[in-house]
């Protein structure tokens, strides 16, 4: 098995447990039809595939190479997503308003960080 392959596991694999979070985001952004389509797609396969932990490939065509089956978190993600689509107001308990002071503090900290952006001119590293 190729370790850290593209579109596999943590490198953009598709995790059914995240379906409820996608649904909350869609409701928050007033785009519930996106969540409804994602749930529809999941319903076509997830039960038949025995509730896998994750799918591989960009289009989530294959059950993950090391995916465990009958995963409670996959089932729960689907069930919560279904509940949220049928009752969008329930998403309000899962959405927090952003704290602008905190957002600004993080924004300033990130913009002040130059890690990985600068190269040292004139200095060369030699490993002996």
What's the pLDDT band for 126 if we cut at 50, 70, 90?
A: very low
pLDDT, mean of residues 70-94: 94
Asked if 74 and 51 touch (Cβ cutoff 8 Å), the reply is: yes
User: Cβ distance 94 to 36 under 8 Å?
Assistant: no
Give 128's pLDDT tier (boundaries 50, 70, 90).
very low
Q: Which residues sit opposite 14 in a β-bridge?
A: 55
Could you tell me the pTM of the whole model?
A: 0.69
- Residue 27 DSSP class: H
- Nearest to 80, CA basis, from 125, 38, 118: 38
pLDDT tens digits, one per residue of 43-54:
999 999 999 998
pLDDT at 74 over 90: yes
Range in 11-15, 23-27, 30-34 the model is least confident about? 11-15
The residue-averaged pLDDT of 78-87 equals 96
């Amino acid at each position: 098995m190729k370790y850290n392959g593209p579109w596999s596991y943590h490198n953009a694999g598709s995790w059914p447990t995240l379906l409820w979070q996608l649904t909350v985001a869609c409701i928050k952004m007033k785009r519930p039809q996106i969540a409804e389509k994602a749930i529809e797609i999941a319903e076509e396969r997830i039960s038949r595939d025995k509730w896998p932990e994750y799918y591989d490939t960009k289009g989530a065509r294959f059950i993950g190479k090391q995916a465990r089956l009958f995963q409670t978190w996959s089932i729960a993600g689907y069930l919560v997503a279904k509940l949220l689509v049928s009752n969008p107001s329930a998403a309000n308990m899962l959405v927090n308003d952003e704290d602008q002071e905190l957002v600004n503090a993080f924004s300033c900290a990130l913009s002040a960080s130059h890690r990985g952006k600068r190269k040292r001119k004139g200095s060369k590293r030699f490993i002996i």
